[in-house]
Chains A and B, each alone.
Chain A
């Protein structure tokens, strides 16, 4: 068998790094004071994998086309590696402060990234499922990482039970699809279904063929969508999100709101636009409804939240709704729609990670014990601009970007998304999106009101470890740069999706 091994070199590298990080704990642990070495190895592993990616030849298929490396996969792997390394950077000091500075954290983090990378490249439902499980199993562990914290336990348990349920639905969908088409391979299913459409159109004009009108095909579509919507936290599969996001360690929540979401969307792009492209009339309607529900529920419930972490959880639900809107649009305008989805996911990764990082960095004095504990409530942010103007300003950038105010990445991202909806003749959908952005301004800007216009109520402090600030500066700069020079990145996004079709 002749294999082009270079195509999976980044994955091999991440695997070796993960095993190495676990190995450090095994052999080297008595010589080191803390786990900084694990973090450094993790970061350099991800860095090397990231640098390898542009040099690999795109459009390679290996393992009899189980695994494809196209520009879309490369783009998403870069998103995963960037957000993963940001997460590792912000975790170093956070884990020390919370008393859980353990090496396993980095190993499991790397495995979750490996799972996402496999999902981005998978051209077969078996591989998609395995990547999904690798990612999810890692997050079961990560969300329960503060194991003496009851809420962290609750988060892990809730995610485990509901995640298992979603995986089962997804698997059921795969098995039904296999029953109808006779294959689990995405490109084969795509070809088979397109051919059925064509022969159906030939025989009787306007009547779709027997296979396409299979009730079973629609059923498997619904089940696949249910499994994926769970991972990207879309309504009505969002129930776990607020509790899990609130209970999990903040660094994990930050990564959870970006990585699995992006991975879920890349699978959605491949499954819906390629494998089930022939069924677009069906999934377009379903996704349009889900998108509207997700945006509206996320934004309206976020208004009622006093806990900032919970509020950001609902905000991330709302953002999944915006991205779904782009996928609906790409049913009609393939390239523009999916390019805007890809573009928005990268912008969202930076701004959302940034917002969570500010939340993670901010600590307040507990009135009873006098210890510094993580700040969670809206009140804890009051008067931050007077105590720490720089942190306050960075939060302003991220909040502006999440709202969609120029000149930030969020504005351009939303502009492209809504424009593609207009191009697709879905003006009403774009209007609902814009109304939702206006609603979201209320709760994003309310944080800024607390930061800039109120007097401090508690003793605050901001984590000043250099690793965290490197990450924070990178994310703030990226958020601004994407907002000022969007064309460059949008062309990359467009080039990455063209290879899909």
Chain B
């Protein structure tokens, strides 16, 4: 019962702050709301006994990416006065599609007999994750590193000034 209450709190934090990220008119508010989204998700990971994942979520997303994002927002000149050239928002069709999809998902989730496991005990998972990354999941691990390398090369290429001829 306690778990359900804690879960509801974390889920509510995540969803409400995610809504604020999407709907806030001020981009600084959006960026700060994102902090709570990441925090709520980290809490959900803890509930699932995924301690390593929760720690990396906090370290990388909150500590790294979000701080970078805030710097980007703060340092960009006049970021709050961006003129959108395309003003067609199409709120009504978007709302219909989103609500229909939400309804569909909720029905499907409630009707499904989920294969469940008992609540796992809180044992450290880091060592097991590390072993798996170096054995069974070595290939996905390496491919993920190449994805990051490609993104890095591409980002440097695009951000770099015009090449002298």
Give residues in A with beta carbon < 8 Å to B: 1, 8, 15, 22, 62-64, 66-67, 99, 102, 104, 107-108, 111, 114, 118, 124, 126-127, 130-131, 133-134, 137-138, 140-141, 144, 147-148, 156, 179-180, 182, 210, 214-216, 218-219
Contacts and interface: CB of A to CB of B under 8 A. Distances in A.
5 contacts: A126-B140, A130-B143, A179-B114, A216-B108, A216-B111
Contacts of A22: 153
A465 B149 CA distance: 33
Listed residue (B109, B136, B143, B147) with the most chain A CB atoms within 10 angstroms of its CB = B143
**B contact residues, range:** 20 to 34
Nearest to B115: A182
A216 B147 contact: no
A119 to B, nearest CB: 10
Contacts, number: 87
Nearest to B114: A179
Given A67-B139, A104-B154, A218-B108, 8 more contacts: A62-B139, A64-B136, A66-B136, A66-B137, A140-B154, A141-B157, A141-B158, A215-B112
B158 to A, nearest CB: 6
Nearest to A222: B104
Interface in B127-165: 135-140, 143-144, 146-147, 149-151, 153-154, 157-158, 162-163, 165
Contact of A138 (B138, B143, B154): B154
B16 interface: no
B97 interface: no
Given A102-B163, A214-B112, A219-B108, A131 B153 contact: no
A210 B150 CA distance: 44
B143 A127 contact: yes
B6 interface: no
Contact of B146 (A15, A67, A127): A15
Interface of B: 104-105, 107-109, 111-115, 135-140, 143-144, 146-147, 149-151, 153-154, 157-158, 162-163, 165
A137 B138 CA distance: 21
Contact of A137 (B109, B112, B113, B150): B150
Contacts of B138: 63
A180 B147 contact: no
Contacts of B108: 214-216, 218-219
B45 to A, nearest CB: 14
B158 A147 contact: yes
B143 A134 contact: yes
Given A219-B104, A219-B105, A137 B114 contact: no
A8 B111 CA distance: 43
Contact of A215 (B107, B150, B157, B162): B107
A130 B139 CA distance: 10
A130 B147 contact: yes
Contacts of A130: 140, 143-144, 147
A179 B109 CA distance: 10
Nearest to A8: B139
8 closest A-B pairs (Cβ-Cβ)? A141-B154, A215-B108, A130-B143, A216-B112, A111-B150, A216-B108, A134-B147, A63-B139
